[in-house]
Amino acid sequence: MSISQRLIQGAPGRICTAIATLGPLGTRMPAPGTWGSGAGLLLYLIVFARVNKLEQWAVFLGMFTALAILAMAICTVAEKRLGKTDPREIILDEFIAMPLIFAGTETTNFLSAQNRYAWAWFLAGFALFRILDVSKPLGIRKLQSWPGGAGIVADDIAAALAACLALHVLHWATLFANGLGI
């Protein structure tokens, strides 16, 4: 047995698998991808939602890049340990992709006491992501064929970016309609 195989089967492999599955969310809950997405929305609300627009981009670029690279490495180990290609138990990809959906939004306005529709934007973003993550349109499915953790994470990042674009279009359309008094 090689050193890398011993690491995958040993404690580091168990730790990576526990992180990649978000513990029991990926292994014991029905629809694990939805639970991972919900946990990612919670990550967004706790970490990203209260920063202003300029700070948000710096946070997204720095923290997201680090999280994505780390997630790819962790998912590669977990995939090998589980002995399956892109197993449904691995939900770290949904967890880290979810905050991207709200990139560039003025979330401080979403969360203000005056905005009674904030829940609708978060629900819309969540739903758009789940639809795009499951259906994998626009060539997103091809990203899954990348080897290891890169394929596991890349398709979710692409689905999150597509959901972000759709959410921005929806937001602009709403602002336009409100400006016209519709």
pLDDT tens, residue by residue, 131-151: 999 999 989 999 988 999 999
d(CA 178, CA 64) in angstroms, rounded, equals 33
- 91: closest CA among 146, 34, 51? 34
Residue 147: the pLDDT is 92
Residue 68: the pLDDT is 93
- The pTM (predicted TM-score) of the whole model is 0.86
Higher-confidence residue of 166 and 57: namely 166
Categorize the per-residue pLDDT at 177 as very low, low, confident or very high, splitting at 50, 70 and 90: confident
Task: Please give the residue range of the domain that contains residue 20.
Answer: 3-179
Residue 96: the pLDDT is 95
State the total domains in the chain. Answer: 1
Q: Which residue has the tokens 């513990």?
A: 23
CA distances from 30 to 25, 101, 126 (A): 8, 23, 17
pLDDT at 176 over 90: no
Cβ atoms of 124 and 94 within 8 Å: the answer is: no
The C-alpha angle 178, 180, 182, rounded to 5 degrees, equals 65
pLDDT digits (tens, 9 = 90+) for 99-125: 999 887 766 555 555 566 778 888 999
pLDDT at 55 over 90: no
Categorize the per-residue pLDDT at 34 as very low, low, confident or very high, splitting at 50, 70 and 90: very high
Q: Up-side HSE of residue 165: CA atoms within 13 Å toward CB? A: 6
Cβ atoms of 95 and 21 within 8 Å: the answer is: no
- 88: closest CA among 147, 132, 27, 47? 27
